[in-house]
Structure 1
Amino acid sequence: MIYVTGDIHGNQFKWLEQIDPVLKEGDIIIVCGDFGIGFFQQKYSSEESFYDFISVQPYTVLFVDGNHENFNKLNSYQVESWNGGHVHKIRHNLIHLMRGEIYIIEGKTFFTFGGGYSIDQPFRKENVSWWPAEMPNTKEYENGLQHLSNRDYVDYIITHTAPDETVYFLSTIKQFHIKGDVYQEMPLTTYLNDIQKNTNYTHWYFGHFHVDKELWRNQTAVFNTLYELESHQIIRQWNTYEE
């Protein structure tokens, strides 16, 4: 089965307590950004040992990048071809789905586009706890448009942030306290909005906003929930691990 969830933020406990127990041999889990490359270091378990743990599991972990990744580390991995698109392989079964690529996974087509803006950037240090590559560049935007240019349908779209109209919609739900006017992120959110208008899809999943909400246009904001992709059934939900 294919599952999808939201931001992990390098939290090994969240993975071991909520995600790993669900996954069986042959399963695939897709993380909608902020997987946490560069942030998995724990007091008793190193980041590399966590990746080694993943590497001996019988399932596959796929993720788009979010804004909270160490992009210097992520981009140091060799680019390889996988299931019709380009990827970074952290381990043989731990795979970064790159921006603007289309993959065929278990007979379904997936368009992926990571990236986002860190609104907590003033409290972070450049190339230590945030990286300019969190926002896409022109080549990445063009890559996505090129891959979508000869098709008007994909089964699933997986992103970190959301189309700007959806971000605005989320901002009107007062309990979420989401800003709808983060101008630094607008080049990306307006780009995604154009894709939304011009591409038919079965379902769109995104993370970033730390909320779980079914939205319009077959879009789902996901954070503390694990969905089975095809049925869109909630398999597990948990209390937040974030402070």
Structure 2
Amino acid sequence: MGLNDQGLALPTEAPPSPLIEPAEQLVAVAGDWHSSRSAARKAMRLVREYSPEIRTMLHVGDFNLGSETPWVAYRQALRDVMRESGVRRILVTPGNHDNWGRLVPYFATHPNTPYLVPRLESISFLPRGYRFEISGRTFLSFGGAASPDQEKRTPGKDWWPEEEPTQGDADLAAQAGTVDIMLAHEAVDNGTGKVDRLLQIPNSRFFTEHGLEASQRSRAIVTDVWTRTSPRVLCHGHMHVKDERRLPDGRRVFSMAAEEMPGNVGVIDLTDLSWTWLA
């Protein structure tokens, strides 16, 4: 691994990745937005009120790249609120509702290189297994999740088989060893109490047996990466609930709520990995 002149750790031979300032003490984390302009505005406002020095937001997916919601209006709103808040970059760990039909071909031809949103290159979608550093803290982004309602969706429009991570993805992501912080969209097994309870009583009106099996399989793979890389902090989305848990070994798990819900935004202090909910 090498470092670029902005302090971001880059794999050898990899093209440059989003620029990260080495002196950042605080980074924001946001949960699912589903193309909600009001959610983006609220999150950025909360971040600025907490600390106008925050420059990086880590988004844990369902940002909704290429969604049915008019993307041009969403992109313009993001540009405006980023300028107003002082946030200079958003690094997205893709969710199941981000356009994998667009991401997968790009990642295949540009290995280990973030996808920069056209005409808004301050927003990047990170490849599955992507590692980076901010102020000496190591991060692992492991995106994707299975849609439990996938049989009710349209392939290539609002569902992509590539959204589900594979064991091969997990093995590649874990082989470089432990990290300080893991970012995922999918939840993990035995993470937080609220998430575990939701998983034990799935909504059979919306989710099919096939979809739930895919969800269980996806979750097991993300859990495997979490176990093997042993991050001190794990942040995930997908389940749309605010919750947290400290494990007996000291590791912590934060489940981010969805747009317009309490718990959609938090801040990590990189000096000691302490966490603050902003709502």
Same fold (TM over 0.5): yes
In structure 2, give the amino acid aligned to 1:221. S
| Residue pairs, 1:21-32, within 5 angstroms | 22-23=47-48, 24=52, 27-32=55-60
Aligned counterpart, 2:94:
65
Equivalent of 2:253, from 219, 223, 232?
A: 219
Quote the Cα distance in structure 2 between the aligned partners of 1:131 and 1:19: 30
| Residue pairs, 1:118-137, within 5 angstroms | 118-137=147-166
Q: Write the deviation string for residues 33-55 of structure 1: whole angstroms up to 9, x where unpaired.
A: 11111127349x53453465477
Contact 2:166 2:218 in 1 (8 A): no
Aligned counterpart, 1:207:
237
Q: Which runs of 5+ in 2 are unaligned?
A: 1-25, 204-208
In structure 1, give the amino acid aligned to 2:190. E
The alignment's TM-score, normalised by the length of structure 2, stands at 0.69
Aligned counterpart, 1:189:
219
Equivalent of 2:116, from 76, 89, 95?
A: 89
**More strand by percentage:** 1
Alpha-carbon distance, 1:158 to partner: 0.6
Alpha-carbon distance, 1:80 to partner: 6.0
Instruction: Tell me whether 1:10 sits opposite 2:35 in the alignment.
Output: yes
Contact 1:12 1:40 in 2 (8 A): no
183 and 2 in structure 1: CA distance in 2 versus 1, 3 angstrom threshold? same
In structure 1, give the amino acid aligned to 2:76. S
Contact 2:170 2:222 in 1 (8 A): no
Q: Which runs of 5+ in 1 are unaligned?
A: 238-243
Aligned counterpart, 1:49:
76
Equivalent of 2:180, from 155, 161, 164?
A: 155
Contact 1:64 1:96 in 2 (8 A): yes
Quote the Cα distance in structure 2 between the aligned partners of 1:72 and 1:186: 23
Q: Write the deviation string for residues 157-199 of structure 1: whole angstroms up to 9, x where unpaired.
A: 110112223378733369x9557x9321233322222333333
RMSD: 3.1
In structure 2, give the amino acid aligned to 1:229. I
In structure 1, give the amino acid aligned to 2:129. G
Quote the Cα distance in structure 2 between the aligned partners of 1:117 and 1:159: 12
In structure 1, give the amino acid aligned to 2:33. I
- SS of 1:103's equivalent in the other structure is strand
Q: Report which stretch shifted further, 198-207 or 12-21.
A: 12-21
- State the number of aligned residues: 226
Q: Report which stretch shifted further, 113-122 or 18-27.
A: 18-27
Quote the Cα distance in structure 2 between the aligned partners of 1:136 and 1:206: 15
Quote the Cα distance in structure 2 between the aligned partners of 1:18 and 1:185: 28
Alpha-carbon distance, 1:11 to partner: 0.9
Instruction: Tell me whether 1:166 sits opposite 2:191 in the alignment.
Output: yes
Instruction: Tell me whether 1:234 sits opposite 2:277 in the alignment.
Output: yes
